Structure 1
């Protein structure tokens, strides 16, 4: 998938747990764990807003678009 999530990196850099982030955002730890591993097909804007608020960052710090090769 050309969209890469950097939640795992942000958690590691800021020494936070999935539980802390999930509680702050208001979603289950299981769902946050799926987001952390990138095992999702969609992300609610309200969840992205909560993640950005928790980390005090911009959406571009959480998401990255990587173009796929045309070959």
Structure 2
């Protein structure tokens, strides 16, 4: 998958638990887990905005694009 989700990195930087983020954003732990593990097919802008607000970051701090040929061999 060419999209890399860096929620774990931002959680560590902010010293915040997944549970706390889930509560602040208003999404279930299950949905947050799907998102942070790269299994989600889409994310609503309102959810992305809430995550960025809770983590005090920009969307680019969470989402990273890698071309398919860059990820092969990883």
| TM-score class, shorter | 0.7 to 0.9
SS in 2 for 1:40: coil
Give the 4+ runs in structure 1 shifted more than 3 A.
Answer: none
1:17-56 deviation line (CA, Å, top 9, x unaligned): 1111011111111111111211211111111001100111
Number of matched pairs: 70
- Unaligned 5+ segments in structure 2 are 70-74
- Unaligned 5+ segments in structure 1 are none
1:35 aligns with 2:2: no
Matching residue of 1:12 = 12
TM-score calculated relative to the size of structure 1: 0.88
The answer to whether the 8 Å contact 2:3/2:38 transfers is: no
Alignment RMSD (CA, Å)? 1.4
The answer to whether the 8 Å contact 1:8/1:37 transfers is: no
TM-score calculated relative to the size of structure 2: 0.85
